[in-house]
Amino acid sequence: MADKQVTLVVGARPNFMKAAPLLNALRSAGGFVVRLIHTGQHFDSNMSEVFFDQLHLPKPDAYLNINTGNPANQMARVILSLHEQFSQFKPGLVIVFGDVNSTLATAVVSNKMDLPLAHVEAGLRSFDRSMPEEHNRILTDMLADFLFTPSPDADQNLLDEGLSADRIYRVGNIMVDSLLSLRPMAVELGTYKGFGKKKSEYALVTLHRAANVDESTALKEIVSALEEIGKLIPVLFPVHPRTKAQLQRMKLESKLAGSGVDLVGPLSYLEFLNLMMNARVVLTDSGGIQEETTVLGVHCLTLRENTERPVTLAEGTNRLVGTKKAGILNGFQKVLKERIPQGRKPELWDGKTAERIVHILRKYWN
Protein backbone atom coordinates (compact mmCIF):
# COMPACT_ATOMS: atom_id res chain seq x y z
CA MET A 1 0.00 0.00 0.00
CA ALA A 2 1.08 3.59 -0.49
CA ASP A 3 2.42 5.38 2.56
CA LYS A 4 -0.41 6.79 4.64
CA GLN A 5 -0.31 10.42 5.76
CA VAL A 6 -0.74 10.77 9.53
CA THR A 7 -0.61 14.06 11.44
CA LEU A 8 -0.11 14.19 15.21
CA VAL A 9 -1.12 17.41 16.97
CA VAL A 10 0.25 18.36 20.40
CA GLY A 11 -0.16 21.52 22.42
CA ALA A 12 0.85 21.05 26.05
CA ARG A 13 3.36 19.06 28.09
CA PRO A 14 1.10 16.09 28.90
CA ASN A 15 0.61 15.62 25.14
CA PHE A 16 4.35 15.29 24.56
CA MET A 17 4.68 12.17 26.73
CA LYS A 18 1.76 10.58 24.89
CA ALA A 19 2.79 11.54 21.37
CA ALA A 20 6.45 10.53 21.55
CA PRO A 21 6.03 6.73 21.70
CA LEU A 22 3.33 6.73 19.01
CA LEU A 23 5.27 8.94 16.63
CA ASN A 24 8.34 6.73 17.02
CA ALA A 25 6.28 3.54 16.59
CA LEU A 26 4.63 4.85 13.41
CA ARG A 27 7.95 5.84 11.88
CA SER A 28 9.60 2.57 12.86
CA ALA A 29 6.74 0.51 11.44
CA GLY A 30 7.10 1.94 7.93
CA GLY A 31 4.22 2.67 5.61
CA PHE A 32 3.37 5.96 7.29
CA VAL A 33 4.37 9.52 6.53
CA VAL A 34 4.13 11.25 9.88
CA ARG A 35 3.88 14.99 10.53
CA LEU A 36 4.04 16.57 13.98
CA ILE A 37 2.30 19.88 14.67
CA HIS A 38 2.85 21.80 17.90
CA THR A 39 0.21 24.44 18.52
CA GLY A 40 2.40 26.19 21.09
CA GLN A 41 -0.13 26.12 23.95
CA HIS A 42 2.85 25.48 26.26
CA PHE A 43 6.25 26.63 25.06
CA ASP A 44 9.37 27.67 26.93
CA SER A 45 12.84 26.16 27.23
CA ASN A 46 12.27 24.18 30.43
CA MET A 47 8.66 23.23 29.89
CA SER A 48 8.67 22.34 26.22
CA GLU A 49 12.04 22.21 24.47
CA VAL A 50 13.65 20.09 27.19
CA PHE A 51 10.70 17.70 27.14
CA PHE A 52 11.10 17.31 23.38
CA ASP A 53 14.80 16.52 23.80
CA GLN A 54 14.36 14.00 26.61
CA LEU A 55 11.45 12.24 24.91
CA HIS A 56 13.39 12.07 21.61
CA LEU A 57 10.64 13.98 19.85
CA PRO A 58 11.82 15.51 16.58
CA LYS A 59 11.48 19.18 15.88
CA PRO A 60 7.81 19.79 14.91
CA ASP A 61 7.07 20.03 11.21
CA ALA A 62 4.97 23.06 12.09
CA TYR A 63 4.95 25.24 15.18
CA LEU A 64 1.88 27.47 15.36
CA ASN A 65 3.11 29.71 18.21
CA ILE A 66 -0.37 30.16 19.69
CA ASN A 67 0.41 30.63 23.37
CA THR A 68 -1.35 33.85 24.33
CA GLY A 69 -4.94 34.95 24.70
CA ASN A 70 -7.94 33.53 26.52
CA PRO A 71 -9.01 29.92 25.83
CA ALA A 72 -11.65 30.87 23.24
CA ASN A 73 -9.19 33.10 21.40
CA GLN A 74 -6.50 30.42 21.46
CA MET A 75 -8.82 27.73 20.17
CA ALA A 76 -10.11 29.93 17.35
CA ARG A 77 -6.57 30.67 16.21
CA VAL A 78 -5.63 26.98 16.41
CA ILE A 79 -8.63 26.08 14.24
CA LEU A 80 -7.71 28.67 11.60
CA SER A 81 -4.04 27.69 11.56
CA LEU A 82 -4.76 23.98 11.38
CA HIS A 83 -7.21 24.54 8.54
CA GLU A 84 -4.31 25.99 6.55
CA GLN A 85 -2.00 23.14 7.55
CA PHE A 86 -4.52 20.42 6.68
CA SER A 87 -5.37 22.10 3.38
CA GLN A 88 -1.73 22.12 2.37
CA PHE A 89 -0.78 18.67 3.73
CA LYS A 90 -4.06 16.77 3.75
CA PRO A 91 -3.67 13.93 6.26
CA GLY A 92 -5.34 10.57 5.94
CA LEU A 93 -5.68 10.57 9.73
CA VAL A 94 -5.32 13.17 12.48
CA ILE A 95 -4.32 11.99 15.97
CA VAL A 96 -4.89 14.01 19.15
CA PHE A 97 -4.08 13.30 22.79
CA GLY A 98 -5.63 13.97 26.17
CA ASP A 99 -7.89 16.85 27.07
CA VAL A 100 -6.19 20.22 26.50
CA ASN A 101 -7.78 23.03 24.50
CA SER A 102 -5.64 22.25 21.45
CA THR A 103 -7.10 18.73 21.43
CA LEU A 104 -10.66 19.95 21.07
CA ALA A 105 -9.72 22.63 18.54
CA THR A 106 -8.04 19.98 16.38
CA ALA A 107 -11.07 17.72 16.65
CA VAL A 108 -13.35 20.51 15.44
CA VAL A 109 -11.30 21.42 12.38
CA SER A 110 -10.77 17.74 11.49
CA ASN A 111 -14.50 17.18 11.60
CA LYS A 112 -15.27 20.24 9.47
CA MET A 113 -12.71 19.11 6.88
CA ASP A 114 -14.01 15.51 6.89
CA LEU A 115 -10.67 14.10 8.07
CA PRO A 116 -10.63 10.86 10.11
CA LEU A 117 -9.74 11.56 13.75
CA ALA A 118 -8.21 9.37 16.46
CA HIS A 119 -8.31 10.31 20.15
CA VAL A 120 -5.64 8.73 22.32
CA GLU A 121 -6.75 8.56 25.98
CA ALA A 122 -10.43 8.55 25.10
CA GLY A 123 -13.28 7.86 27.50
CA LEU A 124 -11.89 9.38 30.69
CA ARG A 125 -14.54 11.17 32.75
CA SER A 126 -14.46 13.03 36.06
CA PHE A 127 -18.22 13.75 35.84
CA ASP A 128 -17.40 17.27 36.95
CA ARG A 129 -18.70 19.67 34.32
CA SER A 130 -17.00 22.62 36.04
CA MET A 131 -13.66 21.33 34.68
CA PRO A 132 -12.76 22.69 31.24
CA GLU A 133 -10.91 19.45 30.55
CA GLU A 134 -14.15 17.50 30.94
CA HIS A 135 -15.80 19.47 28.15
CA ASN A 136 -12.76 18.88 25.94
CA ARG A 137 -12.83 15.12 26.56
CA ILE A 138 -16.53 14.68 25.90
CA LEU A 139 -16.64 16.75 22.72
CA THR A 140 -13.46 15.26 21.28
CA ASP A 141 -14.77 11.73 21.85
CA MET A 142 -18.03 12.60 20.11
CA LEU A 143 -16.11 13.70 17.01
CA ALA A 144 -13.45 10.95 16.91
CA ASP A 145 -13.54 7.94 14.60
CA PHE A 146 -10.99 5.97 16.65
CA LEU A 147 -11.36 6.00 20.43
CA PHE A 148 -8.19 4.57 21.97
CA THR A 149 -8.92 3.97 25.65
CA PRO A 150 -6.61 3.18 28.61
CA SER A 151 -8.93 1.22 30.91
CA PRO A 152 -12.30 -0.62 31.16
CA ASP A 153 -14.04 2.32 32.85
CA ALA A 154 -13.21 4.49 29.83
CA ASP A 155 -14.81 1.91 27.51
CA GLN A 156 -17.95 1.87 29.62
CA ASN A 157 -18.19 5.66 29.76
CA LEU A 158 -18.19 5.83 25.97
CA LEU A 159 -20.80 3.09 25.65
CA ASP A 160 -22.98 4.81 28.25
CA GLU A 161 -22.82 7.97 26.13
CA GLY A 162 -24.15 6.06 23.14
CA LEU A 163 -20.94 5.77 21.15
CA SER A 164 -20.59 2.77 18.89
CA ALA A 165 -18.54 -0.14 20.20
CA ASP A 166 -16.80 -0.50 16.84
CA ARG A 167 -15.11 2.87 17.39
CA ILE A 168 -13.69 1.85 20.80
CA TYR A 169 -10.29 0.18 21.14
CA ARG A 170 -8.78 -0.50 24.53
CA VAL A 171 -5.04 -0.21 24.00
CA GLY A 172 -3.65 0.71 27.43
CA ASN A 173 -2.04 3.84 28.77
CA ILE A 174 0.36 5.42 26.29
CA MET A 175 1.97 7.65 28.92
CA VAL A 176 3.29 4.45 30.50
CA ASP A 177 5.21 3.78 27.27
CA SER A 178 7.23 6.94 27.84
CA LEU A 179 7.56 6.37 31.56
CA LEU A 180 8.95 2.85 31.21
CA SER A 181 11.33 3.76 28.40
CA LEU A 182 12.79 6.72 30.31
CA ARG A 183 12.82 5.21 33.78
CA PRO A 184 16.32 3.69 33.44
CA MET A 185 17.77 7.13 32.64
CA ALA A 186 15.86 8.75 35.49
CA VAL A 187 17.16 6.14 37.94
CA GLU A 188 20.72 7.23 37.17
CA LEU A 189 20.05 10.84 38.13
CA GLY A 190 20.71 12.14 41.62
CA THR A 191 18.01 14.80 41.51
CA TYR A 192 16.54 14.07 44.94
CA LYS A 193 20.03 14.00 46.48
CA GLY A 194 20.79 17.32 44.84
CA PHE A 195 17.90 18.80 46.81
CA GLY A 196 19.25 17.32 50.02
CA LYS A 197 16.57 14.65 50.34
CA LYS A 198 16.78 10.98 51.32
CA LYS A 199 15.09 8.17 49.42
CA SER A 200 11.50 7.55 50.59
CA GLU A 201 11.81 10.24 53.26
CA TYR A 202 10.23 13.27 51.59
CA ALA A 203 6.92 14.37 50.10
CA LEU A 204 6.68 15.74 46.56
CA VAL A 205 4.00 18.28 45.62
CA THR A 206 2.55 19.47 42.30
CA LEU A 207 -0.29 21.94 42.01
CA HIS A 208 -1.66 23.67 38.93
CA ARG A 209 -5.42 23.24 38.41
CA ALA A 210 -7.42 26.44 38.31
CA ALA A 211 -9.89 25.20 40.90
CA ASN A 212 -7.04 24.81 43.37
CA VAL A 213 -4.69 27.69 42.62
CA ASP A 214 -7.06 30.45 41.49
CA GLU A 215 -9.57 29.97 44.29
CA SER A 216 -8.22 31.42 47.55
CA THR A 217 -10.14 29.14 49.93
CA ALA A 218 -8.83 25.93 48.34
CA LEU A 219 -5.26 27.21 48.01
CA LYS A 220 -5.13 28.38 51.63
CA GLU A 221 -6.43 25.01 52.85
CA ILE A 222 -3.81 23.16 50.81
CA VAL A 223 -1.00 25.45 51.96
CA SER A 224 -2.06 25.01 55.57
CA ALA A 225 -1.96 21.22 55.15
CA LEU A 226 1.48 21.37 53.55
CA GLU A 227 2.75 23.42 56.49
CA GLU A 228 1.66 20.64 58.86
CA ILE A 229 3.11 17.90 56.68
CA GLY A 230 6.40 19.82 56.56
CA LYS A 231 6.69 19.41 60.32
CA LEU A 232 6.63 15.63 59.92
CA ILE A 233 8.57 15.03 56.70
CA PRO A 234 10.58 17.21 54.29
CA VAL A 235 8.43 18.60 51.45
CA LEU A 236 9.70 19.45 47.97
CA PHE A 237 7.43 21.62 45.84
CA PRO A 238 8.39 22.36 42.19
CA VAL A 239 6.16 25.36 41.60
CA HIS A 240 4.28 25.83 38.34
CA PRO A 241 4.55 29.46 37.12
CA ARG A 242 0.79 29.94 37.40
CA THR A 243 0.81 28.57 40.95
CA LYS A 244 3.78 30.72 41.92
CA ALA A 245 1.98 33.87 40.78
CA GLN A 246 -1.08 32.98 42.85
CA LEU A 247 0.97 32.12 45.95
CA GLN A 248 2.64 35.49 45.68
CA ARG A 249 -0.65 37.31 45.10
CA MET A 250 -2.21 35.72 48.17
CA LYS A 251 0.98 36.25 50.23
CA LEU A 252 1.34 32.49 50.79
CA GLU A 253 4.76 31.91 49.19
CA SER A 254 6.77 33.25 52.12
CA LYS A 255 4.49 31.40 54.53
CA LEU A 256 5.29 28.09 52.84
CA ALA A 257 9.01 28.79 52.58
CA GLY A 258 9.11 29.68 56.26
CA SER A 259 7.50 26.36 57.18
CA GLY A 260 10.30 24.26 55.75
CA VAL A 261 8.63 23.45 52.43
CA ASP A 262 11.28 23.73 49.70
CA LEU A 263 9.92 25.72 46.76
CA VAL A 264 11.86 25.10 43.55
CA GLY A 265 11.44 26.04 39.90
CA PRO A 266 10.04 23.90 37.08
CA LEU A 267 11.94 20.70 36.29
CA SER A 268 12.57 18.59 33.22
CA TYR A 269 10.63 15.35 32.84
CA LEU A 270 13.58 13.14 33.83
CA GLU A 271 14.38 15.24 36.88
CA PHE A 272 10.79 15.14 38.04
CA LEU A 273 10.57 11.41 37.35
CA ASN A 274 13.61 10.85 39.58
CA LEU A 275 11.98 12.85 42.38
CA MET A 276 8.69 10.99 41.97
CA MET A 277 10.12 7.47 42.01
CA ASN A 278 12.13 8.20 45.17
CA ALA A 279 9.40 10.03 47.14
CA ARG A 280 7.50 8.60 50.09
CA VAL A 281 4.33 10.25 48.81
CA VAL A 282 3.26 12.57 46.01
CA LEU A 283 0.53 15.16 46.60
CA THR A 284 -0.91 16.36 43.31
CA ASP A 285 -3.90 17.59 41.34
CA SER A 286 -2.47 16.21 38.08
CA GLY A 287 -4.20 13.40 36.22
CA GLY A 288 -1.02 12.05 34.66
CA ILE A 289 0.82 11.86 37.97
CA GLN A 290 -1.98 9.71 39.40
CA GLU A 291 -1.15 7.22 36.64
CA GLU A 292 2.62 7.50 36.93
CA THR A 293 2.68 6.93 40.70
CA THR A 294 0.51 3.84 40.19
CA VAL A 295 3.05 2.42 37.74
CA LEU A 296 5.99 3.37 39.97
CA GLY A 297 4.36 1.95 43.11
CA VAL A 298 4.49 5.27 45.00
CA HIS A 299 1.80 6.63 47.33
CA CYS A 300 -0.32 9.37 45.71
CA LEU A 301 -2.72 11.77 47.41
CA THR A 302 -4.89 13.55 44.85
CA LEU A 303 -5.95 17.03 45.93
CA ARG A 304 -9.31 16.93 44.19
CA GLU A 305 -12.87 15.83 44.92
CA ASN A 306 -13.00 13.58 41.84
CA THR A 307 -10.78 11.94 39.26
CA GLU A 308 -11.17 10.92 35.63
CA ARG A 309 -8.76 8.06 36.39
CA PRO A 310 -10.70 5.85 38.85
CA VAL A 311 -8.61 2.82 37.92
CA THR A 312 -5.76 4.40 39.92
CA LEU A 313 -8.03 4.30 42.98
CA ALA A 314 -9.42 0.81 42.42
CA GLU A 315 -6.18 -0.86 41.38
CA GLY A 316 -3.34 1.59 41.91
CA THR A 317 -1.73 3.59 44.70
CA ASN A 318 -3.92 6.69 44.54
CA ARG A 319 -6.24 8.18 47.20
CA LEU A 320 -8.66 11.07 46.72
CA VAL A 321 -8.29 13.44 49.67
CA GLY A 322 -10.01 16.61 48.46
CA THR A 323 -8.75 20.11 49.11
CA LYS A 324 -9.65 20.56 52.77
CA LYS A 325 -6.83 20.54 55.30
CA ALA A 326 -8.42 17.80 57.41
CA GLY A 327 -8.87 15.42 54.48
CA ILE A 328 -5.32 15.95 53.21
CA LEU A 329 -3.80 15.34 56.64
CA ASN A 330 -5.98 12.26 57.18
CA GLY A 331 -4.74 10.81 53.89
CA PHE A 332 -1.16 11.64 54.80
CA GLN A 333 -1.46 9.85 58.15
CA LYS A 334 -2.65 6.74 56.31
CA VAL A 335 0.45 6.92 54.11
CA LEU A 336 2.70 7.08 57.17
CA LYS A 337 1.05 3.94 58.57
CA GLU A 338 1.25 2.04 55.27
CA ARG A 339 4.93 1.88 54.47
CA ILE A 340 4.54 -0.07 51.21
CA PRO A 341 1.59 1.10 49.09
CA GLN A 342 -0.98 -1.47 48.07
CA GLY A 343 -1.78 -1.60 44.38
CA ARG A 344 -0.74 -2.95 41.02
CA LYS A 345 -0.37 -1.82 37.42
CA PRO A 346 -3.68 -2.01 35.54
CA GLU A 347 -4.01 -4.35 32.58
CA LEU A 348 -2.22 -3.21 29.38
CA TRP A 349 -0.19 -0.55 31.19
CA ASP A 350 2.87 -2.39 29.94
CA GLY A 351 4.72 0.00 27.63
CA LYS A 352 3.26 -1.49 24.42
CA THR A 353 0.29 0.81 23.84
CA ALA A 354 1.85 2.54 20.83
CA GLU A 355 2.48 -0.83 19.18
CA ARG A 356 -1.17 -1.80 19.62
CA ILE A 357 -2.35 1.48 18.08
CA VAL A 358 -0.08 1.02 15.05
CA HIS A 359 -1.40 -2.52 14.60
CA ILE A 360 -5.01 -1.26 14.63
CA LEU A 361 -4.24 1.48 12.09
CA ARG A 362 -2.54 -1.01 9.76
CA LYS A 363 -5.63 -3.24 9.86
CA TYR A 364 -7.85 -0.24 9.17
CA TRP A 365 -5.95 0.79 6.05
CA ASN A 366 -5.58 -2.75 4.78
Q: 42, 208, 299, 359: which one is catalytic?
A: 208
Look at residues 192, 188, 185, 247 and name the one whose alpha carbon lies nearest to residue 220: 247
- The tally of CA atoms less than 13 A away on the side-chain side of residue 317 is 27
Q: What is the largest CA-CA distance in the chain?
A: 64
Residues 6+ apart with CB under 8 A from 295: 176, 179, 180, 345, 349
Residue 208 among the catalytic residues: yes
Q: Which amino acid does the sequence have at 71?
A: P
Look at residues 351, 282, 347, 354 and name the one whose alpha carbon lies nearest to residue 311: 347
Phi, psi values for residue 279, rounded to 5°:
-80, 155
Residues 6+ apart with CB under 8 A from 44: none
Q: Write the burial class of residue 120 (CB in 10 Å: 0-12 exposed, 13-18 middle, 19+ buried).
A: buried
Q: Which residues are catalytic?
A: 208
